[in-house]
């Protein structure tokens, strides 16, 4: 079973910082967690279509997701 954490309205650098934190903590990409970043989407006039940037972290173990969900709570 896996659990997903979604952080919205986040820059690419912030997303990379969260990923780096997982790597520094000893978690292994594609073993302990998966991640994806989606930048904000703009229309032809340079305005947001209402889709904010977001990063998703999917953890294989629910306890890891719970730990980081609490650690990253704002």
pLDDT for 1 beyond 60: no
- Find the domain containing 21 and state its range: 3-71
Domain count, the chain: 1
Q: pTM of the predicted model, to two decimals?
A: 0.84
pLDDT of amino acid 46: 66
Q: Quote the CA–CA distance of 44 and 41 in Å, as a whole number.
A: 10
Interatomic CA distance for residues 71 and 48, integer angstroms: 30
Q: Kindly report, residue by residue over 6-48, the tens digit of the pLDDT.
A: 999 999 999 999 999 999 999 999 999 999 999 887 777 766 6
| Confidence grade of residue 66 (pLDDT, cut at 50, 70, 90) | very high
């Amino acid at each position: 079973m896996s659990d997903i954490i979604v952080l919205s309205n986040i820059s690419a650098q912030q997303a990379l910082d969260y990923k780096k934190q997982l790597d520094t903590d000893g978690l292994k990409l594609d073993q302990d967690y998966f991640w994806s970043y989606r930048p904000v989407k703009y229309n032809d006039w340079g305005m947001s279509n209402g889709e904010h940037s977001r990063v998703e972290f999917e953890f294989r173990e629910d306890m890891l997701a719970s730990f980081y969900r609490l650690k990253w709570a704002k």
